[in-house]
Amino acid sequence: MDFILDQLPQQLVNGLTLGGVYALIAIGYSMVYGILTMLNFAHGEVYMIGGFSGWWVLHLLSRNHTPLINAAALIILMIAGGMAVSGLLGVLVERVAYRPLRAAPRLNLLLSALGVSIFLQNLVLNYQGAKVRAFHVAGLVPPSLQVIRIGPVVFSFMRVLVIVVCFCLMALLAYLVKNTRAGKAMRATAEDIEAAAFMGVDVDRIITLVFLIGSALGGAAGVLVGLLFTQVDYYVGFQAGLKGFTAAVLGGIGNLYGAMLGGLLLGLAEALAVTFFSATYKDVVAFVILIAVLLIRPQGLLGNREPEKV
Amino acid sequence: MTAAASTHSGFRFRQPQTIGLLAALLILAVAPHLMPNSYWLRVYSMIGIYVMLALGLNVVAGFAGLLDLAYVAFFGIGGYTFALLSSAQFDIHLPFAAALPAAAIVTMLCGFLLGLTSIRLRGDYLAIVTLAFAQIFKLLLLNLDRPVNITGGVNGIYGFDAITIFGWRIISPMHYAYLIWAAALLVIIAAARFKSSRYGRGWEALREDELAAAAMGINTTWMKLAAFAGGALIAGGTGALFASFQDSVFPNNFDFPQLVVVYCMVILGGLGNIPGVVCGAVLLTILPEFLREYGAYRMMSYGLILVALMILRPQGLLSELPFLRKRMARPDKDASGRLKSSTDLYYGAAQTPPEASGGHQPDAAGTLAMAAPVREPQPILRLEGLTRNFGGLTALSNLDLTLYEGEILSVIGPNGAGKTTLFNLISGIYPPSRGSIKLYGDDITGAKPYQVARAGVARTFQNLRLFNNMSVLDNVRVGCFSRTRSGPLSILLNLPGQRREERETEARAKAILGIFGGRLTGYRFDQPVSALSYANRRRTEIARALSSEPRILLLDEPAAGMNPQETIEITQFIRTLRDRYGHTILLIEHKLGVVRSISDRVAVLDYGCKIAEGHYDEIVNNPQVIEAYLGRRKS
């Protein structure tokens, strides 16, 4: 028991880090769901490709595992690169695979999204191979900052970085959605896509913007996870996608703050599961939470339930 | 057709089905011997496995439209159950004849349990829950080798008992080829039987519009569970066969890519289309063999196939090909080939009474004409203190209303008065917040829509909720669902009872569609509802409601969107329903001309309250009613 209590604060920090990443992924699901009421199966793959983009930036700008440019600038470039590639990829996917199906039955849209996911995953498998790409981050962190110790709790620099970046991005997004003209258009489109169109909102552009933002955040999450766990492979998108979706559903899909809350809660729940059970079944915990939420409160923690109109 | 002849109709030559079956048997008998080598013999057997898998998935995803992403886990459960029951793993050595059914049934139970989640979830949510289930299953397969070795972890389980069926030992690949394809043939026949049965139509209706399906008397929960269980049963049995054929099971056999392959087969062939799905399975098993050197691109191309098919041909490559389509009769053309107008048809057919147009099925048409209207008014439906709140809004408040047998009662009122809410409460779509609903003295408050439909209350919808991709005839046949009994077993074995019921259902549906003159008969039977005009869709919806043999018909704005001529026709028609067929009718209508000419009584709602009730002439002079419709005079 002492062992567990000693571990607890540490695991809470780990949970917070993981939760921030899940929240970033969940936002992408939730924003798309809010507007198109579709589950973007390909989002996990977009996240994975974001991670790979970050790895390429790191790979191109370092020699023998030491960065060629300023370390802080390199980290920023990595995150920006991941966001840019993922954002554009999300827009492209929407354009090619979802837009032609907007009026089609939902099952068709879902299957198309599933197809995109399989395609992207195997595209990366073919061109990157199945092997794990390592992020050599040791050179990015000044030795004095490698480990930050507060009481019994150890913060690695990367954990702090991930938490800070996650929360900054989320705060930025919340500001954009709440206070800008585009944000207002987004909220209107999510409320009623046709009514928004009649009021002069260019719905296609808003949807493109939503995919751009959601996918870019997913890409950022991919790079951050790469920095944190120092590796990426073609298969990570699948798990991460499921986790992100779980987080979005937990918080109430379609609800931005719900996605953030759901992500953090899921991260904490997993960290606690690792503490109290075992790491082997960590993923089972997420899925059990998902199934339980869907059965008990399908609208999620912050979601509203709308009765079906007959 | 007499009953005696029909019981011996199983093997009638010259029937295309019988010829097809014989041809299939001949091909299956010869095909294994035509394979150039043992490698291709193996491919041939794998095609059989995939045909079964694809047809099982077709039950869940194709017929019922449920995106089940745990399907491959069911395949695995079947395989692993078989592995545990007939190997040295736990030293259980059940004979094949017991192990295979056991594996299939265990899998079916798992399917049933997973199906329970589908009661509350649909679409994306169901997809993700089933995907999570599949992931848990794979995690368990990989990790249940410690502390007790159950699944063998990554190494799987291998070395099963040799199987024996009716004294024949199945050892060589040739034996397996015959065994697997015999099973595949059985699955094909079973799938075809289910598709053209009340279950098949029930699933299709569920896929098209769940709420309307429930309102037509289909227990949607049960049908979903049945689809999950049926799909799992096939997957489990196939898994057992596959395990025995491969003589081993590994977690990788039952992984996500496998699921994608099976989905591609089903979608390529066309969801729900059995010959298409079989062709899809054959094609996608053989094709990769010829494209071996491009193997790395295989999964990538499956992804592309899915996206491209959804955008370009969502009905599947093999659906709706002109030469496969049934040639349809065009009775609306006269001898010179000139098209007759539908009005001619209507008034031409109206000369003969509808009973006669039912023709040679006197029993089916006879049940249509129910007892003549009862002279003594008997209360049939009684609403007491009926209230429904939506959050803070009271849509219907403390409503008392009694409907007497054989009358036409119209409910009118301004928009938002609570008329449709009233219908939704009676038909069980929402439970009332307070109050009770009694049908013939039985309390049906809070009953589910399908229970209300079975109790004898059928409805139409204000905005039309037809099963748009189903044919006119099938839409009406769905209405017969609650009045037919055939269970899965009698459909599977095509028992005489099931065959008789199918004939009766068809005759009945045709007789009901005949009531509308020539408007919905002949070539219309096989047309999808989406091809009909608006007025004809309204008529089809009424026909669908009639086919559930209702005692009370709830018609929600039957004349909405009809032109004056059509309005006159539908008004007369509603009166006919009461006068000739004895239906009691509760009607919502905005066209006061219709209300005036056919209502025995009228109830007026405003803001959820009943403000007047009585004969039309009384209520039109009621000052409260005038105020509700026209507003108050400035004083």
- A-facing residues of B in 305-324 (CB < 8 A) are 305-307, 310-311, 314
Q: What residues 380-439 of chain B have any CB closer than 8 A to a CB of chain A?
A: 390, 420, 424, 429-430
Q: Give the per-residue pLDDT at B121.
A: 72
CB contact under 8 A, A39 and B135: no
The label of the residue with tokens 């604060």 reads: A9
Domains of chain A are: 2-296 (1.10.3470)
Average of per-residue pLDDT values in chain B: 85
The topology under which CATH files domain B12-323 is ABC transporter involved in vitamin B12 uptake, BtuC (1.10.3470)
Residue B131 forms contact with A (CB below 8 Å):
yes
Label residue B334 by pLDDT band (50, 70, 90).
low
Among the partner residues B310, B390, B462, nearest to A111 by beta-carbon distance: B310
What chain A residue is nearest to B120 in terms of C-alpha separation? A295
From A109, A112, A298, residue closest to B121, measured CB to CB: A298
Instruction: Pick the residue from chain A with its C-alpha nearest to B300.
Output: A119
Confidence of residue B79 (pLDDT cuts 50, 70, 90): very high
- Residues B424-474: tens digit of each pLDDT: 999 999 899 999 999 988 899 989 999 999 999 999 998 899 998 889 999
The residue of A118, A121, A128, A278 whose CB has the most chain B CBs within 10 angstroms, and thus the best one to mutate to test that interface, is A118
Cβ(B432)–Cβ(B388) under 8 Å? yes
B121 vs A307: CB contact, 8 Å cut-off?
A: no
Mark which residues 550-569 of B lie under 8 Å from A by CB: none
Q: Please answer whether residues B195 and B274 qualify as being in contact, where contact means their C-beta atoms are separated by less than 8 angstroms.
A: yes
Query: β-pairing, B92-93 with B86-87?
Result: antiparallel
> Which range among A253-262, A275-284, B1-10, B487-496 shows the weakest confidence by mean pLDDT?
B1-10
A-B C-beta contacts closer than 8 Å: 125
Tokens of A145: 């900052």
- Nearest C-alpha in A relative to B266: A111
Per-residue model confidence as pLDDT tens digits over B540-567: 999 999 999 999 999 999 988 888 988 9
Q: Which two tokens stand for residue B280?
A: 């899809």
> What would the pLDDT profile of B515-525 be if each residue is shown by its tens digit?
887 788 878 88
- Using a CB–CB cutoff of 8 Å, tell me whether B260 touches chain A: yes
Closest residue in chain B to residue A40, using alpha carbons only: B124
* Any A CB within 8 A of B17 CB: no
pLDDT number for residue B482: 87
Task: Identify residue A300 by its one-letter amino acid code.
Answer: G
Question: Are A112 and B305 spatial neighbours (Cβ–Cβ below 8 Å)?
Answer: no
Query: Considering only alpha carbons, which residue of chain B is nearest residue A97?
Result: B307
In our burial notation (b when 16+ CB lie closer than 10 A, e otherwise), range B402-420 reads bbbbbbbbbbbbeeebbbb
Work out the angle between the directed axes of helices B198-208 and B220-246 (0-180°, nearest 10): 110
List every span in chain B annotated with CATH 3.40.50.300. 379-471+535-630
Residue among A101, A281, A290 minimizing CB distance to B311: A101
Q: What is the pLDDT of residue B366?
A: 43
pLDDT greater than 80 at residue B120:
no
- Within 8 A by CB and 6+ apart from B352, the residues are none
Class of the domain covering B379-471+535-630:
alpha beta
A120-156: b or e for each residue (b if 16 or more CB lie within 10 Å)? bbbbbbeebeeeebebebeebbeeeeeeeeeeeeebb
What is the tens place of the pLDDT at every residue in B146-198?
778 888 888 899 888 888 887 788 888 899 999 999 999 999 999 999 999 99
pTM as predicted: 0.84
Mutation target for A interface from B120, B306, B470, B556: give the one with most A CBs within 10 A.
B306
Sequence-distant (≥ 6) Cβ neighbours of residue B448 within 8 angstroms: B214, B219, B428
Bridge partners, A154 (sequence order): A149
A280 contacts on B by Cβ (under 8 Å): 139, 143
CB interface of B with A, residues 101-120, below 8 Å: 117, 120
In contact, B512 and B438? CB cutoff 8 Å = no
| Cβ contact B364:B342 at 8 Å | no
Chain B interface, mutation test: which of A119, A277, A280, A309, most B Cβ atoms within 10 Å? Answer: A119
- Using an 8 Å CB-CB cutoff, list chain A residues near B139: 280-281, 283-284
Q: Judged by CB atoms within 8 Å, which residues 27-46 of A form the interface with B?
A: 33, 38-39
Parts of chain B belonging to CATH 1.10.3470: 12-323
Q: With a threshold of 0.85, tell me whether the complex ipTM lies above it.
A: yes
Alpha helical stretches, state H, B58-172: 71-85, 96-117, 123-143
The partner residue sitting opposite A295, judged by closest CB among B117, B133, B390, is B117
Instruction: Note down pLDDT in tens along chain A; length 310 residues.
Output: 566 667 778 888 889 999 999 999 999 999 998 888 888 989 999 999 999 999 999 999 988 878 888 888 999 999 999 999 999 999 999 999 999 998 888 778 888 998 999 999 999 998 888 888 898 887 788 777 777 777 777 778 888 899 999 999 999 999 999 999 999 999 999 888 889 999 999 999 999 999 999 999 999 999 999 999 888 988 889 889 889 988 998 898 888 899 999 999 999 998 888 877 777 777 778 878 887 887 788 788 887 655 444 4
Enumerate residues 71 to 130 of chain A having a beta carbon within 8 A of any beta carbon in chain B: 96-97, 100-101, 104-112, 114-123, 125-126
Residue B369 has pLDDT above 50, yes or no: no
- Residue B458 has a pLDDT of 94
How many Å lie between the alpha carbon of A112 and the closest alpha carbon of chain B? 4
pLDDT above 70 as % of chain B = 88
